[in-house]
Amino acid sequence: MREFIVKIKPLTPIWTGDENRECKTLRETGMLGSLRWWYEALVRGLGGSACDSTSDNRCPDKDGNHCDVCELFGCMGWARKFRLEIESINLAVIPKNLKIKIGTRKKRVIRKREKYLIREVEGLMADGDIILKFMPLREISQNEWALLNKILQIIADYSALGAKTSQGSGVIKIAENNLPYKDENPKKSELKGKGNKINSPNLANFFFYKFHIKFKKGISNLIDKEVFWTHQSDHYGFIDNWENWKKLWSDYHFLPIAFHIRDAIRQVEDDKNKRHEIFGELGKGSKIFVSHCYKVDDTTVEVRVWGYDVEKSIKHKIKKELENKLKEKLFSKEEYKESLESCTLTEEKTGKEILGVVR
Ligand SMILES: [Zn+2]
């Protein structure tokens, strides 16, 4: 069987398990779910049809009358046009051996009792490459390859792959891509627009930001001094594991502060209901996505913030206020605030700009 490969390298842990299940290995179904989600958003942005494959709005399983996404990814009466296999070596499972926990800022009511919850940094890092093998089972059109290449590019350049991408996981780098038609732009005219469709998420309504967070001292030094916030002072029984913070930074070059950045961004919207709509509950159903921070140099990390269907005023506030809000949320003590040198927007793109490139 012919196979085409994409070699990727995780910059922050990849999560392909279900929301509540453990992720000990990279699962093809989780990876396909994420690829499909981005493919749907791109197809909608180009004016094609994309059903919601996870609800009753999925395409009907007869007559070949399915949407442009089911055409490649399959549905009940129509098989996926390719098989995906994942090959990886030396996967390091987080949190199993590198547990890092961040408490919630507020207590939540669980079975009528108020208590703080634990948020865990989870997923898999790899010492070597992770290889995604695409094996065509039927003919994949030139345009479908072009669409696949386009979403891989959006994922690698501006967003993330897999699940839990609203809580830091899934930033990747593409080390090699030998899928065909890499230089082709997807064509709107090739999309048939049949089957069921829902309108969101649509790439045309996305924004993508990258910030550089610069500290005055080396990041390993700050971890040694335990400057980062991990839990409230009355969160009894909470145990820090700074050795693991150190190991993640020295071995895998990332700083697990997506929850801090998320907490900082939450502060830009005062209205509680609106906040709920944009951020979801504990990351579920969120329209804003935040990555963990990966290394630029010894004192600087990069973070990705992206999302869709978010009001202009909120996007504006994220850009303007993130530095100040981050000072409030990143550190365990007032005196550590000055360790932050700056938080600067280094790149911004709209989904429309990304679509504009594709004519
Ligand atoms: Zn469909």
Q: Note the pLDDT tens digit of each residue in 229-274.
A: 999 999 999 999 999 999 999 999 999 999 999 999 999 888 888 8
CA distance 53 to 146: 22
* pLDDT at position 247: 92
Handedness of CA 267, 272, 274, 280 (dihedral sign): positive
Q: Which amino acid is at 116?
A: Y
| Ligand 1 centre distance from Cα of residue 152 (Å) | 20
CA distance 292 to 1: 38
* pLDDT at position 212: 98
Averaged pLDDT score across all residues of the chain: 91
| Ligand 1 centre distance from Cα of residue 35 (Å) | 14
Among 69, 77, 31, 65, CA closest to 53: 69
- Residue 74 reports pLDDT greater than 80: yes
| Ligand 1 centre distance from Cα of residue 308 (Å) | 21
What confidence tier does 47 reach under pLDDT thresholds 50, 70, 90? very high
Average pLDDT over residues 1-15: 93
CA distance 219 to 9: 22
| Ligand 1 centre distance from Cα of residue 46 (Å) | 16
Alpha helices for the chain (secondary structure H): 28-45, 68-73, 142-158, 219-224, 242-252, 258-266, 272-279, 312-330, 351-357
- Kind of pairing, strands 101-103 and 91-94? unpaired
| Ligand 1 centre distance from Cα of residue 54 (Å) | 10
| Ligand 1 centre distance from Cα of residue 192 (Å) | 12
**Lowest mean pLDDT segment, chosen from 110-119, 250-259, 324-333:** 110-119
Q: Which helix (H) or strand (E) holds 211?
A: strand 206-215
What confidence tier does 70 reach under pLDDT thresholds 50, 70, 90? very high
* Residues 257, 295 contacting (CB under 8 angstroms): no
| Ligand 1 centre distance from Cα of residue 66 (Å) | 5
| Ligand 1 centre distance from Cα of residue 214 (Å) | 44
| Ligand 1 centre distance from Cα of residue 31 (Å) | 18
Q: What is the pTM of this model?
A: 0.94
For the chain, what percent of residues have pLDDT higher than 90?
A: 70
Question: Under CATH, which number does the domain 4-203 receive?
Answer: 3.30.70
Give the pLDDT confidence of 140-164 residue by residue, as tens digits: 999 999 999 999 999 999 999 998 8
| Ligand 1 centre distance from Cα of residue 71 (Å) | 7
The interaxial angle of helices 272-279 and 258-266, nearest 10 deg, is 150
Joined together, the tokens standing for residue 161 give 């792959």
pLDDT higher for 55 or 7? 7
Residues flanking ion ligand 1, Cβ below 5 Å:
51, 59, 66-67, 70, 195
Give the pLDDT confidence of 189-228 residue by residue, as tens digits: 999 999 899 998 999 999 999 999 999 999 999 999 999 9
Q: How far is CA 103 from CA 13, 252, 255, 264, 267, in A?
A: 19, 23, 16, 14, 17
> φ, ψ for residue 297 (rounded to 5)?
-150, -170
What are the residue ranges spanned by the domains of the chain?
4-203, 205-357
**Lowest mean pLDDT segment, chosen from 8-12, 211-215, 266-270, 311-315:** 266-270
Joined together, the tokens standing for residue 113 give 């009792």
- Residue 65 reports pLDDT greater than 90: no
What confidence tier does 359 reach under pLDDT thresholds 50, 70, 90? very low
- Residue 357 reports pLDDT greater than 60: no
For the chain, what percent of residues have pLDDT higher than 70?
A: 95
